[in-house]
Amino acid sequence: MGLFDGKKGLILGVANDRSIAWAIAQKIMEEGGICGFSHLPDRPDDDKQKNRRRVTKCTEKHPESVKFVEPLDVQNDEQIAAFAELTAKEFGKIDFLLHSIAFADMRDLGVDTIETSRGGFKLAMDISVFSLIAVCNAMKGVMNENAAVAAMTYFGGEKCVPGYNVMGICKAALDAAVRYLAYDLGPQQVRVNAVSAGPLKTLAGSAAGVGDMLKLYQHMAPLNRNITHEEVGNAGAYLLSDMSNGITGEILHVDGGYNAMGSPGRLLDAINAAKKQT
């Protein structure tokens, strides 16, 4: 018996095989779950359909566990409604929904937060935050009682992480949205939580300068190492499974304990040791 035997749901936001969403989806499918996937729409002039190919390259390895792979523009309410209709047609009702969608223009990520453009702020908040609200609203009639929603967040929404900039503000808003959606969906016994993962080598992580963060976390986290895709996959699957019934409105940190630190910890020891050698 797997944790997700007989369970059906949606995975929104897989970009490629290094995506955190894919790590979670793999665990769900290993445990017997059946998934429907979204992907970024390809441009009409893109004959190679790069976005679709990146996702189907992952899903084609699990044909028995994948119901559909379809494009979804979360800035388009008509597309969200159509995706909900497709979900109802293919699944009837769903048991889990993973939201792993975020975006900010590089021109805004690359400047100090105070220099964020108005248009860039609206774009980042619309895709990274409002999309969760819009999707949950569209899917509320498609979710079974005791269904679960999980979003992906980051510590930069709780504390200032220089370089994360406008996306940190988006994650703070996303964290708040998780709590309010948990309240709104609570009467139908639908839970809403988020996973706050430490840095990993992903497409989004590369844009956020994950290399330096990996070194920092390795020295500062109580576990004295970085996390793995598998660990985040397990945590995300846990929040979407019946094992976490009774938990809602929470942020689950999977960061080796980095968020618990109030000082540089062993990093300070390493700095002092380096000073002695010079």
Which active-site residues does the annotation give? 154, 164
- The kind and range of the H/E element at 68 are strand 66-71
Q: Coil, helix or strand for 74?
A: coil
Cα atoms in the Cβ-side hemisphere of radius 13 Å centred on 260: 9
Closest CA to 59 of 14, 90, 9, 92: 14
The answer to whether 119 and 136 are in contact (CB under 8 A) is no
Helices (H), 60-191: 77-91, 106-109, 118-125, 131-139, 166-185
Distance from C-alpha of 185 to C-alpha of 15, rounded to nearest angstrom? 28
Q: Coil, helix or strand for 214?
A: helix
Burial annotation 146-177 (CB, 10 A radius, 16+ → b, else e): ebbbbbbbbbbbbeebeebbbbbbbbbbbbeb
The angle, 0 to 180 degrees and rounded to 10, between the axes of the packed helices 166-185 and 118-125 is 40
